Amino acid sequence: MPLDSLKHSAILSTLFKMADDIELIGASEFIKDRLYFATLRSKPKSTANTHYFCTDDEFIYENFYADFGPLHLAMLYRYCCKLNKKLKSFTLTRKRIVHYTSFDQRKRANAAVLIGAYAVIYLKKTPEEAYRALISGSNSSYLPFRDASFGNCTYNLTILDCLQGIRKVSFRVENGDFNWIVPGKFLAFSGPHPKSKIENGYPLHAPEAYFPYFRQHNVTSVVRLNKKIYDAQRFTDAGFDHYDLFFVDGSTPSDIITRRFLHICESTDGAVAVHCKAGLGRTGTLIGCYLMKHYRFTAAETIAWIRVCRPGSVIGPQQHFLDERQAAMWMQGDVQRSQQKQPRGVSRLTSSMDDLTLNPTHTTGPGGILKSHSIDRLQEVSNDYIGENGLCMTQGDKLRALKGRRQPRSATTGALR
C-alpha cells in the first residue's frame, strides 16, 4: 500500500476514535476501555472501535398503575446472558461495548438497574461501587421507583436500594404466576380459586393445579392471607399444612398475625407457599418481615428484592410498615440467633436461594398432626366460602385483572446486535 494511503488510513482511524471518545464523554465506565453505560439523545451507529446496544424497547416493565420498575428477575437474567454473550463475542473482542439508554427517566432508571446489577453479580462490585459508576460523569441522578398504586407516591425506592437487595441474594427465574422469593423457603403466588378457569383474561387455578409443582419443590405448607374462596381441605387432604391468617386487602398485619406467620415459617421444614388475592401486597409484606428478621435486610432492600422477584409487591402503607418494623425484626432475629447459637446469615439465603382464633378449622392427618389453622379477624366472614360474584373489586382483584389484560411477551434473550 502506498505511503500516502497508509497515512490517510491512520488519520481516518484517529478521527473515528476521537468521534467515539466524544460520544462517550460523561459515560459510566464499568470495565476500563471495555464496558460503558451512557445516556444519549439519539441512536448512535456502531463503529470500528465501539459497539452500541440498547435494551429500552426489549425489556419493558408491565405496570399496574403509576409504577414503572424495577424490571423483574427473568429480564435481569436475560440481560446478563445478553451482555455476557457480547463480552465473549469474537467479533467484539477489540471493541468498546456501550449500553446506552434514552432520556426517558423511567427507561433510564430500569437500564441503570440492569447494568448495575450485572456489575454486582458478575464484576463483583459492591452496590456502592456500582452506584458510584452510574452517577459519574453526566449520569448524575435517577428517578426513584414507586409502588403499584394509583395515588401519590409516599415511598421512594432508589437504584442503590435495588442493587443492595440484589447483592444479598442469588436468583432464579419466575415460573408462571408464582415466584420464588427465597429459593427453597418462600414461594409467593396468586390465590387459588374453587375451579380452574379464565376470568377477564386472567387464568385462575384450582388448588389441585399446584400439587405437582409443590411436591416436586418440597412445598409443605400453604398460608392464605385473604378471605376464604376455596376449601382449605383440598390442600390438607393432599398432605399439605394449611394456615389462614386473614387481614384486609391493602392493609398491614397486626402483631399477632406477624408473630404467627413467623412462627409457622420457622417451624416448617419444607418451603412455604404464601398467597393473598393477587399474591403481591399482603404476601410480600409478611415475607418481608421474615427477610428482615432472619437475613437482616433493611426495609428498602427487602422491598427492592421482593419486587425484583415479583413485580408490584408491597403497596402503599405496607412500605412504611416494613420501615417501621425493621428495628424490631432485627432485634428479634439477633435474640433468636444468640439463643440458638447458630448464626444464620445471608449465605443461607444465597446457597439455597399465642394467637386469637375466632373461627378455627382443625383437621388432623395421620398421627394427629394438625393440618389446618385459622386466624380470622373479620367477624362478618364466616367459614362459608365467598361466592364468585359476591364481592366488590378489591385491590387484589384489580391487580389480577390488570395482569390478565397483558399480552404475553417473548422469552428470547435477543439476538446479538
Q: How confident is the model over 3-40, as pLDDT tens digits?
A: 455 444 444 444 344 445 555 657 899 999 999 999 99
The bridge status of strand 96-101 relative to strand 50-53 is: parallel
**CB-CB contact of 99 with 83 (8 Å):** yes
Write the CATH number of the domain with boundaries 178-315+353-404: 3.90.190.10
**CB-CB contact of 174 with 181 (8 Å):** no
What's residue 212's pLDDT? 93
What's residue 170's pLDDT? 42
What's residue 402's pLDDT? 63
Query: Side by side, which strands form the sheet with 96-101?
Result: 28-31, 35-39, 96-101, 50-53
For the chain, the structural domain boundaries read: 24-157, 178-315+353-404
**CB-CB contact of 337 with 344 (8 Å):** yes
Cα–Cα dist 108/101, whole Å: 6
What's residue 65's pLDDT? 84
User: Which residues of the chain fall below pLDDT 50?
Assistant: 1, 3, 6-19, 170-176, 343, 345-371, 375-390, 408-417
The grid cell for 267 is 417451624
- 163-175 residue pLDDT tens: 998 887 643 333 3
Cα–Cα dist 348/336, whole Å: 16
pTM of this structure: 0.60
Written as one letter, the residue type at 52 is Y
Name the β-bridge partners of 241.
221
Listed in sequence order, the residues at least 6 apart from 374 whose beta carbon sits closer than 8 Å to its beta carbon are 243, 244, 246, 357, 358, 359, 360, 361
**CB-CB contact of 119 with 34 (8 Å):** no
CATH value of 24-157 in 1.20.120.330, 3.30.450.30, 1.20.1530.20, 3.90.190.10: 3.90.190.10
- Give catalytic status of residue 265 as yes or no: no
**CB-CB contact of 394 with 280 (8 Å):** no
Catalytic choice (54, 265, 276, 309): 276
Q: Could you give the C-alpha distances from 93 to 33, 34, 35, 37, in angstroms and in order?
A: 11, 9, 11, 18
What is the DSSP-derived secondary structure letter of residue 157? B
DSSP string across 367-391: GG-B-EEEE---TT--SSPPPTTSS
Grid cell 387481614 is found at 247
Tell me the angle at which helices 159-167 and 105-121 cross, rounded to the nearest 10 degrees: 30
The bridge status of strand 202-204 relative to strand 197-199 is: antiparallel
What's residue 21's pLDDT? 53
What's residue 403's pLDDT? 60
The grid cell for 86 is 457480547
φ and ψ of 39, to 5 deg: -105, 115
What's residue 50's pLDDT? 95
Tell me the angle at which helices 73-88 and 299-309 cross, rounded to the nearest 10 degrees: 80
